[in-house]
Chain A
Amino acid sequence: MHQPPPASCSRSSCCVCARVGVRVSALAPAAAPCPAPSRSLGPRPPEPPSRGTSTLPLAPLGPWCSPTGSPAPLSCETGCGEGSWILVCRLLVPTQVSLLSMEEDIDTRKINNSFLRDHSYATEADIISTVEFNHTGELLATGDKGGRVVIFQREQESKNQVHRRGEYNVYSTFQSHEPEFDYLKSLEIEEKINKIRWLPQQNAAYFLLSTNDKTVKLWKVSERDKRPEGYNLKDEEGRLRDPATITTLRVPVLRPMDLMVEATPRRVFANAHTYHINSISVNSDYETYMSADDLRINLWNFEITNQSFNIVDIKPANMEELTEVITAAEFHPHHCNTFVYSSSKGTIRLCDMRASALCDRHTKFFEEPEDPSNRSFFSEIISSISDVKFSHSGRYIMTRDYLTVKVWDLNMENRPIETYQVHDYLRSKLCSLYENDCIFDKFECVWNGSDSVIMTGSYNNFFRMFDRNTKRDVTLEASRENSKPRAILKPRKVCVGGKRRKDEISVDSLDFSKKILHTAWHPSENIIAVAATNNLYIFQDKVN
């Protein structure tokens, strides 16, 4: 059954009605019992696969129950747990058109509630372009190509329905950015949300930054569950009363009302970027943040919208000498003076803002020498870094280029400490991928809460997880076919030639239009959000 949607805000200046996320209801609880407890919590001996789980080959799983049977350790500490991911819910926000028809027509609403039909209603504006958990993991924000932001909230634990915990419902929806036109340059500015970043919570309201190609906005999302009643000069509908009819005075009182979630734009940071903004990052001082475009990085103070400091500028005096652009940037999680930015040449620069006002000269320079045997026409494209992320500890950075994910130690600049192949079978297909523009896809990568597992997306709605400790990896699929609630995800495998085994998929059958570019990992638990076109899948590990 579906929860009633939270009542939406109707403030005209900011947002539209919250839309009902079509949700898959939770059915039976997770099937298999906890695997046999291991003898020691240290090195993990192989365990027999539990009954009812996937067909994953023997993988030393972390102990989900300690030998004494006491509650499992913090799930994020036990590693990847590959083979034990289950679908929590699949969320789909209908388009504006179908929402209107939802209100008008019962039959249409029935169609909308059947997510098997959603394919015909989905438009390009619904394609999710960014996903981000907030710092507690209670909220999950998505931005889409149509400039909308949809925030989901985790369902609270309740005694009656223990297994509903972990599902996310729509909390708030608002239109963050609109398409604009730059008349001076005759350019249309897309409303697509490129990035969302949450601010840490400091009071009852939530704050997030959302950005399109040119403008960053700070949004405040707050709840209202009381409203004043009993005004003297206005009646209940807000109309002014004729003063002559007022004979008594009363004090307005606050009465409870249906919960309403409002989103208001508190700051708009505009006109600071000539090129397209690709990243924003909130500083650990919670007072400043940076926005990066192709050639410049600006530092902002949250309170000041008409000025920003330019801290990196790699634009050459002569544009003809341009050889690289900035592709991503992020602040260090603990040191408010340190940030990194990645380039299209596959390099990462770490800068210290204490060194100078303009950080054009890096403090550290991370680059791996190119492997000459892999040289091709497209070497430069596939070495371009599409995402860079600090680990939660601040000790490592992870970069994603087209075919690999690399983990770098901040103390070692000449090569990464770990390299993981995401989909190396595409190396021989680069020419076709260049033709259909897939080679320009910008995949993101994420750390889990304990920095032991990293995750990134691929094609055919596959996404990959790499456990840094056990060196095991798994490929999972976010698809509608096996999206029954609580269904356990089966690991997938791509066959690279020769005999194709059952359940394997050959490289040529991969669907390159189904790409997973954006994923997010809950900050402390093993819950992941995976965006596949206009669908948002939420998976969690199978814990008792």
Chain B
Amino acid sequence: MEFKLEAHRIVSISLGKIYNSRVQRGGIKLHKNLLVSLVLRSARQVYLSDPCPGLYLAGTPTPQPGEPAAQPPAGWGEPPPPGARAAWSDPEPQPQPHGAAGPAGSHAGCPAPCSTPLKKPRRDGAEEDAEEEMETGNVANLITIFGSSFSGLLRKSPGGGREEEGGEESGPEAAEPGQICCDKPVLRDMNPWSTAIVAF
């Protein structure tokens, strides 16, 4: 359980880093973004392997420290800091209408200029808000922003990602020193989970 919360937190931090790397001076650093995407992959694997997806919030008693090892493979270390758990115990702030619509509409080719809605959550400074915003509707927007993916890392339905990319393929290829990474399949797969979270 706690691994899942931790994984979720790490995923949102990682997405934040990837996003921020676009505005960093000196251009996008390939090495750092590669490492961040590897962390994203690991966190996603933990997230997926956790068999109890629905039990996050206030009703859940605090997770037992002696979690059975049937949970993600032994050694995923690091119980989440109490802060993360507390964040999920709070009732969700106002519902996120575009969050629910987001996953559904994401594959219809979101318009590219959606950086503005993303900027606001980052400026908020509140990590919970940032997490939700990034996890929900705007995850789909992130996909179009980054425009490339590391399917080799993820080994997951690379075919599913192709039809969207379509015309974007040449774009990322040409601009690849500037553009980098995005775990498109990762992000898309996470949308159903975030819908569940939001709905709760």
Shortest Cβ gap from B189 to chain A (Å): 16
In the complex, are the beta carbons of B176 and A319 less than 8 A apart?
yes
Contacts A185-B177, A440-B32 given; does A377 touch B27 at CB 8 Å: no
Residues of chain B within 8 A of A373, CB atoms compared: 75
Q: Are B151 and A372 in contact (CB under 8 A)?
A: no
Interface residues of B toward A: which range?
35 or more
A344 and B34 within 8 A (CB)? yes
Query: Cβ of B46 < 8 Å from any Cβ of A?
Result: yes
Instruction: Decide: B26 and A376 in contact? CB cutoff 8 A.
Output: no
A320 touches B149 (CB 8 A): yes
Interface string of B139-155 (1 = CB under 8 A from A): 00000000011111100
Kindly specify which of A90-98, A429-437, A452-460 makes contact with the partner chain: A429-437
Write the nearest CB–CB distance from B28 to chain A, whole angstroms.
Answer: 8
Cβ proximity bits A184-208 to B, threshold 8 Å, 1 near / 0 not? 0111111010000000000000000
A319 engages B172 (CB within 8 Å): yes
Q: Is the Cβ of A325 less than 8 Å from the Cβ of B10?
A: no
Contact B153 A325 (CB under 8 A): no
Q: Binary interface profile of B, 94-110, with partner A (CB < 8 Å = 1, else 0)? A: 00000000000000000
Asked if residues B25 and A188 are in contact (CB atoms below 8 Å), the reply is: yes
Partner of A320, one of B39, B151, B175: B151
How many Å lie between the Cα of A276 and that of B180 in the bound state?
Answer: 13
Q: Which of A321, A372, A381 is in CB contact (< 8 Å) with B39? A: A381
Instruction: Please indicate the chain A residues that have their CB under 8 angstroms from the CB of B32 in the complex.
Output: 440
In the complex, what distance in Å separates the CA atom of A213 from the CA atom of B24? 14
- B39 CB to nearest A CB, Å: 6
The residue in chain A whose Cβ has the minimal distance to the Cβ of B16 is A435
**A431 & B10 in contact (Cβ 8 Å cutoff):** yes
Q: Which of B146-167 contact A (CB under 8 A)?
A: 148-153, 158
Contacts A274-B177, A319-B176 given; does A384 touch B148 at CB 8 Å: no
Query: CA–CA, A322 to B77, complex, Å?
Result: 27
Indicate whether B30 reaches chain A with its CB closer than 8 angstroms. Answer: yes
Given contacts A294-B31, A380-B38, contact A322 B150 (CB under 8 A): yes
A187 x B27 contact (CB < 8 A): yes
Is A375 engaged at the interface, CB distance under 8 Å to the other chain? yes
- Does B71 have its Cβ within 8 Å of any Cβ on chain A? no
Instruction: Give the contacts of A316-338 with B (CB-CB under 8 A).
Output: 316, 318-325, 327
B175-194 vs A, Cβ < 8 Å mask (1 yes, 0 no): 11110000000000000000
Interchain CB contact (< 8 A) of A189 among B26, B150, B172, B176:
B26
* Interchain CB contact under 8 A, B30 and A325: yes
A188-B25, A319-B172, A323-B153 given; A377·B10 CB < 8 A: yes
Q: Are B75 and A374 in contact (CB under 8 A)?
A: yes
Whether A375 lies near B178 (C-beta < 8 A) is no
Q: How long is the Cα–Cα vector from A375 to B176 in the complex, in angstroms?
A: 31
Enumerate chain B residues within 8 angstroms of A185, measured Cβ to Cβ: 27, 175, 177-178
B39: chain A residues within 8 A (beta carbon)? 377-378, 380-381, 434
Chain A 255-280 residues near chain B, CB threshold 8 A:
274-276, 278
A440 with B152: CB separation less than 8 A: no
CB neighbours of B200 from chain A (8 A): none
Q: Is B7 an interface residue (CB 8 A)?
A: yes
User: Within the complex, which residue of A190, A320, A327, A376 is in contact with B75, where a contact is CB–CB below 8 Å?
Assistant: A376
| A295 interface contact, C-beta 8 A | yes
Taking a contact as CB atoms closer than 8 A, the residue among B26, B75, B173 that contacts A188 in the complex is B26
- Name, among B6, B78, B149, B175, the residue most crowded by chain A CB atoms within 10 Å (CB to CB): B78
In the complex, which residues of chain B have a beta carbon less than 8 angstroms from the beta carbon of A384? Answer: 31, 35
CB contacts (< 8 Å) of B31 on chain A: these are: 276, 278, 294, 325, 327, 344, 384
Closest Cβ of chain A: how far from B114's Cβ, in Å? Answer: 19
Instruction: Please give me the residue from chain A that is nearest to B173 by CB atom.
Output: A319
A182 CA / B178 CA spacing, docked (Å)? 10
Q: How far is the CA of A324 from the CA of B37 in the complex (A)?
A: 11
- CA distance in complex: A440, B29 (Å): 11
A430 to B43, CA, bound (A): 14
Given contacts A185-B177, A186-B178, A375-B73, contact A431 B150 (CB under 8 A): no
**CB-CB < 8 A to B10: which residues of A?**
377, 431, 434
Say yes or no: B75 contacts A372, CB within 8 Å: yes
In the complex, what distance in Å separates the CA atom of A374 from the CA atom of B76?
Answer: 9
Q: Which of A182, A384, A431, A434 has the most CB of B within 10 A?
A: A431
Q: B76 — which chain A residues lie within 8 A by C-beta?
A: 375-377
Least CB distance from B141 to A in Å reads: 20
Q: Across the interface, which residues of A come within 8 angstroms of B175, CB to CB?
A: 185
- Against A, the Cβ 8 Å flags (1 = close, 0 = not) of B1-34 are 0000011001001000100000001110111101
Structural contact, A321 and B6, CB atoms closer than 8 A: no
Cβ-defined contact, B73 with A322, below 8 A = no
Q: Are B178 and A187 in contact (CB under 8 A)?
A: yes
CA A275 – CA B32 in complex, angstroms? Answer: 12
A373 to B10, CA, bound (A): 21
Partner among A188, A320, A378, A380 whose Cβ is within 8 Å of the Cβ of B27:
A188
- List residues of chain A with CB within 8 A of the CB of B29: 276
Contacts of B7 in A (CB 8 A): 377
Instruction: State how many angstroms separate the Cβ of A431 from the closest Cβ of chain B.
Output: 5
Q: Which residues of A contact B30 (CB under 8 A)?
A: 275-276, 294-295, 325
Contact B78 A430 (CB under 8 A): yes
A430 and B31 CA atoms in complex are apart in Å by 18
Question: Is the beta-carbon distance between A322 and B34 smaller than 8 angstroms?
Answer: yes
* CB-CB nearest in chain B for A374: B75
A188-B27, A376-B76 known, 4 other contacts, Cβ within 8 Å: A213-B27, A278-B31, A428-B78, A430-B77
The 10 closest A-B pairs by CB, nearest first: A321-B152, A190-B26, A187-B27, A376-B77, A375-B75, A380-B38, A294-B30, A185-B178, A377-B42, A381-B35
What are 7 pairs between A and B in contact, CB < 8 Å?
A185-B177, A294-B31, A320-B148, A320-B150, A373-B75, A378-B39, A381-B39
* B residues whose Cβ falls under 8 Å from a Cβ of A: 6-7, 10, 13, 17, 25-27, 29-32, 34-35, 38-39, 42-43, 46, 73, 75-78, 81, 148-153, 158, 172-173, 175-178
Identify the A interface with B (CB < 8 A). Answer: 182, 185-190, 192, 213, 274-276, 278, 294-295, 316, 318-325, 327, 344, 372-381, 384, 428, 430-431, 434-435, 437, 440
